[in-house]
Amino acid sequence: MTTDAADLARLASLLADETRAAMCLALLDGRAWTAGELAAHAGVARSTATEHLHRLIGGGLLAEERQGRHRYVRLADPAVAHLIEDLSAHLAPAAAPARGLRQAAASAAMKRARTCYDHLAGELGVAVADAMTAKGLLDQRAGFALTDAGLAWLTADAGLDPADLRRSKRPLARGCLDWTERRPHLAGVAGARLCERFMAQRWVVRIGSSRAVKVTPAGREGLRALLGID
């Protein structure tokens, strides 16, 4: 067995456990969680969660942060978020089981709009990418690339800092296959900064503690004026 094959098998084994997979999916909201919060989310004891977190941190998928006596974990970097989202997009849609109204509403909210680590996903994320493409700001024909007009739009109409866009080591624009829409939404620095701006202006707000977000009345007006999204 080659070293590369062994390393790949080791990486795959980290996600080949339902509890660890549930933790990684929860962390796609881009926020830092405590071990207790992740234990409650995954439905396991805190001691069990801690064991799983040690494996995920040791394998490079999660990073640990400490603030005083508190310990938090988050996804190690955007590349890990893309890996998990891409793997999710390859899952065949399962037949929906019978479920309560609350679960059905939560699932519908996630499909409409959610965060994918630090950018927008779901119907809203795809709509933003499509609107930018229709306006000639984004070229999807050979991967995701901002056009010259798109770069000018980001720094002028969208109000993003040109220096911030240039100094990042991440790709400026990247297509991220959406696991509910089966089409790409905008990731990379451009996707992250747009999401950040929409939230700062409260065009988009989180729904409770989930990854789901919703567009506010101000957001509907703003997105219509900025990108023609109805």
Question: Between the CA of residue 117 and those of 36, 157, 193, 217, what are the distances in Å?
Answer: 20, 24, 12, 24
Domains and their CATH numbers in the chain: 3-76 (1.10.10.10), 100-227 (no CATH)
Mean pLDDT by 10 residues, the chain (230 residues): 79 92 89 91 93 94 87 89 82 59 83 91 95 94 87 85 76 86 90 93 91 94 93
| Pick from 221, 142, 151, 230: nearest CA to 184 | 142
Q: How far apart are CA 120 and CA 101, in angstroms?
A: 25
Please tell me the predicted confidence (pLDDT) of residue 70. Answer: 81
Beta carbons of 64 and 57 less than 8 angstroms apart: yes
Q: How far apart are CA 129 and CA 143, in angstroms?
A: 12
- Give every strand in the sheet of 70-75, ordered side by side: 33-34, 70-75, 62-67
Q: How far apart are CA 193 and CA 108, in angstroms?
A: 25
Please report, as a single letter, which amino acid is at residue 49.
A
Question: Between the CA of residue 120 and those of 69, 100, 152, what are the distances in Å?
Answer: 32, 27, 21
Please tell me the predicted confidence (pLDDT) of residue 1. Answer: 56
Q: How far apart are the first and last CA of the chain?
A: 54
Please tell me the predicted confidence (pLDDT) of residue 66. Answer: 86
Indicate the pTM of the whole model.
Answer: 0.75
Please tell me the predicted confidence (pLDDT) of residue 96. Answer: 53
Phi/psi-derived region of residue 208, left when phi > 0, alpha when psi is between -120 and 50, beta in every other case: left
**Average pLDDT of the chain, as a whole number:** 88
| Pick from 18, 117, 36: nearest CA to 72 | 36
